[in-house]
């Protein structure tokens, strides 16, 4: 069973990968918005359909939905946007970035779920181990109860104790 640090590293790696793909989506969205503004003008409905607004405030899922909406608008207006460099290859790259981002979001969620499930399994296994140790300690205490106090004490499990707070003298200066 992998330890939590390994699972946390896997999850962190996927988050970094998602952020990298997210940055490529942000670059494409800003580029499309600027190009659409130069073709259609700032007050046109076509431009507004390709202007996602404030991207930095969006969650990943909202950004993904917005990117898909802008992609649809770009695809519908590809003929007019060709003059500013939005070609079939550019649109294909945009679509690939959107799919990569969706996959990256899914992988992050999957790694988080694996980590959470592993935590539950470790807790369950730890409880099973404690129960088994407690059972054998009861046998040891039963065997040594009237024979040897030192050996009896080897089988005593103390409950978790809270660490004591150190009392420091108060300065009277």
Residue 34 domain-assigned (yes or no): yes
Rounded to the nearest integer, the mean pLDDT of the chain is 90
Q: Which residue has the higher pLDDT, 154 or 64?
A: 64
131 within a domain of the structure (yes/no): no
Output the pLDDT for position 158: 78
Which comes out higher in pLDDT, residue 26 or 169?
A: 26
Residue 150 in any domain: the answer is no
- Rounded Cα distance between 54 and 123, Å, is 43
CA within 13 Å, CB half, 56: 0
Q: Which residue in this structure is represented by tokens 């490529």?
A: 24
Q: Is residue 165 part of a domain?
A: no
CB count in 10 Å sphere of residue 145 = 12
Domain count, the chain: 1
For the record, the structure tokens of 14 come out as 């996927």
Q: Does any domain span residue 42?
A: yes
Cα separation, 64 vs 98, in Å, equals 7
User: Does the pLDDT at position 170 exceed 80?
Assistant: no
Residue 168 in domain = no
Rounded to an integer, what is the distance from CA 77 to the centroid of its chain? Answer: 35
Running DSSP on this structure, what letter comes out for residue 1?
Answer: -
Q: Look up residue 50 and give its two tokens.
A: 């390709």
Mean pLDDT, rounded, for 82-88: 92
Q: Is the pLDDT of residue 12 over 50?
A: yes
pLDDT at residue 160, rounded to an integer: 60
Confidence band for 169, pLDDT divided at 50, 70 and 90:
low
CA distance 151 to 153: 5
Q: Is residue 49 part of a domain?
A: yes
The predicted-structure confidence for 108-159, as pLDDT tens digits, reads as follows 999 999 999 999 999 999 999 999 999 999 999 888 888 888 888 888 887 6
Tell me if 19 is assigned to some domain. Answer: yes
Distance (Å, whole) CA 11 – CA 89:
32
What's the domain range around 29?
4-107
């Amino acid at each position: 069973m992998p330890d939590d640090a390994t699972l946390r590293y896997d999850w962190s790696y996927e988050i970094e990968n998602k952020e990298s793909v997210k940055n490529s989506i942000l670059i494409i969205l800003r580029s499309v918005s600027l190009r659409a503004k130069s073709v259609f003008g700032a007050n046109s409905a076509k431009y507004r359909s390709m202007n996602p607004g404030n991207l930095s405030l969006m969650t990943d899922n909202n950004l993904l939905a917005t990117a898909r909406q802008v992609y649809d608008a770009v695809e519908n207006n590809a003929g007019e946007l060709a003059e500013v460099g939005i070609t079939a290859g550019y649109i294909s790259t945009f679509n690939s970035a959107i799919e990569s981002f969706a996959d990256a979001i899914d992988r992050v969620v999957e790694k988080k779920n694996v980590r959470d499930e592993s935590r539950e399994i470790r807790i369950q296994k730890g409880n099973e181990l404690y129960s088994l140790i407690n059972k054998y300690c009861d046998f040891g205490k039963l065997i040594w109860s009237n024979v040897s106090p030192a050996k009896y004490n080897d089988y005593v499990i103390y409950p978790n104790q809270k660490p004591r707070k150190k009392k420091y003298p108060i300065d009277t200066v």
